[in-house]
């Protein structure tokens, strides 16, 4: 037998013995887990043997011991009056609801006509349903039948940062003033156009509104497109989580400051681990009008889509939907930045407009007993609808606060 053949047989034998040893060790489970856990937690999660914990059991043992206070289910209903579906008209992305005297108020994105996309004349066509939009508002006595009151925030003049579209609006009341923050687009609207955030204010919910001369929030400026291309997925460098767009703004007065929560979209955005690469961020100011400084801790979520945040129990709660590994969860943060999951829910309406007329502290999800959402009736046209929610605490038993 040659020396090389003998050496090869010897190495194969050693490998076989090592593999057999590993298999026996796994089969006999000779490496008990050393994690210290209480008998109460072992019983709570029905774990067979606390010395042998699966990855799933280890995660469960780290869960906070909450009940179902944050667990809700939703249903949707059509609206009556001017906000009922209207062929040829887009009404979408309702703001939160506030109350002034005896009327509820809501603001929303409005445009008309079908969507042509990016393939035609960019200067004339409508590339998305929210393109060539303005912000309108409506009022209601009961939250079901609505009267459209008219235009609130128009697009800017040619050459201004908001000359193409203003949309996806949110309302904040503070010390007798009303503030609308919203997304803006400057022409031309291409795949690589960067969205910004604008602000307007008034001493009355009926206006007139004064618009900020410059955007109050812009995307990070540290990504780099691949030259000679048109789509948004080909980049040299992706940059921060919000290097392409800042969307869905919402300002919350919190801890003596103003927290502007927003959705970030990234240049070269990918699809992975639960959907689109979408995360939330926050920018903080000492004054409602800014300047807003992005938090060093951004992003503050690893999932989500439209911003839906409210104050509760001294902190900030957030509904995370649509995209990412933590989609369809409700989260809460004591400081408005560090969020933990409080519940996982079956699904949620799109673009929720919260009812900010209620007592937030009554219940963790009281602010979502009813509110507004939007529905894609067709790819071209959307309408605003009402949603209700109810809290589930036990098997087969809904505690219904929606009526």
Chosen CATH of 72-399 out of 2.60.40.10, 3.50.50.60, 2.115.10.20, 3.40.50.2000: 2.115.10.20
Spell out the domain ranges in the chain.
Answer: 3-62, 72-399
According to DSSP, the β-strands at 103-112 and 89-92 are antiparallel
User: What kind and span of H or E run contains 374?
Assistant: strand 370-376
pLDDT tens per residue across span 339-395:
999 999 988 999 999 999 999 899 999 999 999 999 999 999 999 999 999 987 777
- Interatomic CA distance for residues 205 and 100, integer angstroms: 8
Q: What are phi and psi of 49, to 5 degrees?
A: -145, 115
Q: What are phi and psi of 274, to 5 degrees?
A: 110, 10
pLDDT tens per residue across span 120-171:
888 889 999 999 999 999 999 999 999 999 999 999 999 999 999 999 999 9
- Interatomic CA distance for residues 177 and 136, integer angstroms: 18
User: pTM for this structure?
Assistant: 0.88
Q: Report yes or no: 330 and 303 within 8 Å, Cβ to Cβ.
A: no
- Give 314-362 as a DSSP string: TEEEEEE-SSSTT-SEEEEESSSSS-EEEEE-S---SS-B-BTTS-GGG
User: What kind and span of H or E run contains 7?
Assistant: helix 3-28
Q: What is the mean pLDDT of residues 247-257?
A: 97
Query: Which of 256, 105, 260 minimizes the C-alpha distance to 196?
Result: 260
């Amino acid at each position: 037998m040659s020396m090389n053949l003998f050496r090869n047989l010897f190495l194969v034998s050693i490998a076989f013995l090592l593999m057999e040893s590993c298999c026996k060790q796994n089969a006999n489970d000779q490496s008990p887990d050393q994690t210290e856990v209480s008998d109460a937690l072992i019983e709570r999660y029905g774990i067979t043997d606390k010395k042998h914990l699966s990855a799933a059991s280890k995660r469960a043992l780290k869960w906070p011991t909450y009940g179902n206070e944050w667990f809700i289910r939703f249903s949707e209903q059509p609206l009556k009056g001017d906000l009922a579906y209207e062929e040829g008209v887009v009404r979408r992305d309702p703001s939160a609801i506030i109350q002034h005297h005896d009327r509820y108020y809501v603001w929303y994105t409005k445009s008309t006509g079908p969507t042509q996309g990016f393939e035609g004349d960019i200067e004339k066509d409508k590339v998305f349903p929210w393109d060539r939009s303005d912000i309108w508002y409506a009022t209601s006595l009961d939250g079901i039948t609505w009267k459209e009151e008219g235009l609130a925030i128009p697009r800017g003049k040619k050459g201004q940062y908001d000359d193409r579209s203003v949309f996806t609006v949110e309302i904040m009341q503070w010390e007798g003033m009303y503030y609308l923050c919203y997304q803006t687009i400057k022409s031309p609207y291409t795949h690589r156009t960067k969205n910004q955030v604008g602000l307007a204010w008034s001493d009355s919910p009926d206006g007139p509104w004064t618009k900020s001369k410059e955007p109050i929030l812009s995307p990070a400026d540290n990504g780099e497109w691949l030259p000679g291309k048109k789509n948004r997925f080909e980049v040299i460098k992706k940059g921060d989580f919000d290097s392409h767009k800042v969307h869905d703004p919402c300002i919350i007065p919190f801890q003596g400051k103003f927290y502007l929560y927003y959705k970030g979209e990234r240049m070269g955005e990918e699809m992975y681990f639960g959907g689109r690469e979408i995360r939330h961020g926050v920018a903080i100011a000492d004054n409602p009008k800014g300047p807003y400084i992005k938090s060093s801790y951004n992003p503050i979520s690893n999932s989500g889509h439209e911003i839906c945040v409210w104050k509760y129990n001294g902190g900030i709660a957030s509904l995370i939907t649509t995209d990412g590994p933590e989609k369809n969860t409700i989260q809460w943060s004591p400081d408005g930045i560090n969020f933990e999951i409080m519940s996982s829910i079956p699904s949620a309406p799109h673009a929720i407009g919260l009812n900010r007329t209620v007592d937030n502290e009554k219940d963790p999800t009281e602010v979502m007993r009813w509110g507004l959402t939007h529905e894609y009736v067709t790819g071209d046209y959307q309408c605003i609808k009402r949603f209700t929610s109810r809290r589930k605490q036990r098997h087969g038993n809904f505690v219904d606060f929606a009526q």
